[in-house]
């Protein structure tokens, strides 16, 4: 496994991570034991980054990942998220208020069976909540030892830049970065059909993330759903 190192994150991070959105039995569902087997196989292959979120499977994905990591927690980095709530009908709404985030992190820790999340990411922007309030919540979580690093997911350029003024941001995640970001061996493993699919849904925001977050010593992760699984290629950019 190839590992990347960035200035803002202490641990080396595997160049390929595993996204757990289909562990929840809702999107492209994977049976629980199969999901656990995937996690164990990935760890055996050297993968140490697992990305999850409360909304994936409405809490189930975090629970399954927590079960899979029993006795293996010290071998991995968990990247979970906050700020996306849902109701009984599974209708989602964005909420990055301090009160909501402080409640969410405790719920995530309970499902994951851990005392801390390594990378806590804001899942989507929330126009109704000032970024200053959100940053205050993140700082409180970090001081309490509930999170170690802060990440942004699906944030635009102006929002990301402003958040980086308010608190230290260690990771940014784009929707898809395109196949140019993937290691050659991974492109071979995926095959031409999957590569074509990824090129078709490329987004431009990743280039901004590489220039800003990467320049400041943060981790930039591009994700794509390929053949039923979410995969990541992590960029370690320490630019001058």
Length of the chain: 240
Q: Which residues are catalytic?
A: 56
Nearest CA to 83 out of 60, 63, 102 is that of: 102
**Rounded to whole angstroms, how far apart are CA atoms 219 and 206?**
12
Instruction: Judge residue 91's burial from the number of C-beta atoms within 10 Å of its C-beta, 0-12 exposed, 13-18 middle, 19 or more buried.
Output: exposed
DSSP H or E stretch at residue 85: strand 84-86
Q: Is the CB of residue 23 less than 8 Å from the CB of residue 240?
A: no
Q: What Rg do the C-alpha atoms of the chain give, in angstroms?
A: 17
**Rounded to whole angstroms, how far apart are CA atoms 189 and 112?**
31
In this structure, the strands spanning 49-51 and 16-19 are: parallel
């Amino acid at each position: 496994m190839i590992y990347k190192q960035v200035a803002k994150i202490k641990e080396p991070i595997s160049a390929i991570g595993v996204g757990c959105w289909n562990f929840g039995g809702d999107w492209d569902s994977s049976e629980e034991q199969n999901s656990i087997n995937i996690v164990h196989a990935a760890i055996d292959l050297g993968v140490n980054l697992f990305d999850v979120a409360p909304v994936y499977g409405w809490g189930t994905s975090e629970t399954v990942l927590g079960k899979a990591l029993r006795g293996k927690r010290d071998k991995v980095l968990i990247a979970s998220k906050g700020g996306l709530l849902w109701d009984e009908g599974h209708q989602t709404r964005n909420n990055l208020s301090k009160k909501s985030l402080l409640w969410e992190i405790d719920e995530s820790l309970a499902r994951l069976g851990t005392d801390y999340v390594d990378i806590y990411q804001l899942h989507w922007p929330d126009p109704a909540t000032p970024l200053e309030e959100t940053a205050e919540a993140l700082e409180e979580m970090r001081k309490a030892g509930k999170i170690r690093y802060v990440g942004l997911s699906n944030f635009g350029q102006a929002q990301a830049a402003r958040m980086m003024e308010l608190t230290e941001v260690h990771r940014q995640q784009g929707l898809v970065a395109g196949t140019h970001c993937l290691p050659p061996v991974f492109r071979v493993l995926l095959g031409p059909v999957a590569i074509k699919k990824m090129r078709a849904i490329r987004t431009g925001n990743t280039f901004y993330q590489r220039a800003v977050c990467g320049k400041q010593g943060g981790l930039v992760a591009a994700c794509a759903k390929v053949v039923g699984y979410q995969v990541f290629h992590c960029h370690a950019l320490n630019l001058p």
